[in-house]
Amino acid sequence: MLDALKDALRHYQCEDQACFVEQFDAIFTLTLGVKPKYAILIDSFYKIQKHIRSKSSIRELLEVIDAIKTERANEMFFLQKAVSLVDVQGKNILIYDHSHSVQHALSTLKESGKSFSILIAGQDLKKTDDNISFAHYLGVPYKVVPAYMLSHLDKTIDVAFFGAVTLQEGTQFVMDPGSKSIIAHLHLEKKPMYVFLTTSKFSLWPIESHQKEIYVKTHRRKHHHLSEIEFDHVKFSHDRVGADLINYTVTEKGIFTPTQLLKEYQTLREKRAL
């Protein structure tokens, strides 16, 4: 999104400052309406808005955006340092969701010389294909199993990696749909699980309604072979998963247990309220 904003600023021709502020405020209002809310997006726009209102030049605004991107790059650097502390040598790692954070973590571990294999739990075809492509180009042994058949391979799983869109009030992760059932199963089987997430992606605002944070799509479909049969096919955008089900959350500030994660979340939220 920041790259798109930079490109728009480079091509912006209007000399009217009031018009410029009005257009940016309209974009910012849309951004504030995005759910789930998380700090990395909203805080970035607040910083840019502050400079726009102080009548900064386009060049200065581009520098602000570059500074924000540098902050994010630094976060990823320290996240990778924390990732390197995760013990995966000789282990079989389960992945399910389509997460860039998980892919970065696996790449970091491979580059550090760790030897491991991957078990991909299949879900949405496009996301699963991307995970397969990633595992192939990473150059590690991997297998694929439908998520609903995962219980047959319990004994082969040593550890599981997950990403998350954000961490919300009540230390609830927002994750890919289907994640909760897999995590609940792995929790029952006492398999260690890690979530990879920078603290800048935490959502530090109260949740008005959990239902409004999850988008539902309902399609009217026909039976594959019996055209007279119609039914509603319902899909959900995300799952909400309690952090207490996850053994460790890996952030740029270190690796947290559920209790430590709650404390960090509360600290950041109190700081925002000041």
Q: What is the mean pLDDT of residues 56-60?
A: 71
Q: For residue 209, is pLDDT > 60?
A: no
Q: What is the pLDDT of residues 78-103, one digit of tens each?
A: 999 999 999 999 999 999 998 999 99
- Tally of CB atoms within 10 A around 126: 9
pTM of the model: 0.83
In single-letter form, the type of residue at position 216 comes to V
* DSSP state for residue 75 in the 8-state scheme: H
Quote the mean pLDDT of the chain. Answer: 86
Instruction: Output the CA–CA distances (angstroms, integers) from residue 125 to 72, 96, 131, 174, 252, in the order listed.
Output: 30, 12, 10, 21, 31
- Tally of CB atoms within 10 A around 9: 16
Q: Which CATH class is domain 84-207+235-273?
A: alpha beta
Task: Say if CB 14 and CB 74 are below 8 A apart.
Answer: no
Residue extent(s) of CATH 3.40.50.10470 domains in the chain: 84-207+235-273
* DSSP state for residue 98 in the 8-state scheme: -
Burial of 214 (0-12, 13-18, 19+ CB in 10 A): middle
Greatest mean pLDDT among 47-51, 83-87, 212-216, 220-224 = 83-87
Q: What is the pLDDT of residues 146-202, one digit of tens each?
A: 999 999 999 999 999 999 999 998 999 999 999 999 999 999 999 999 999 999 999
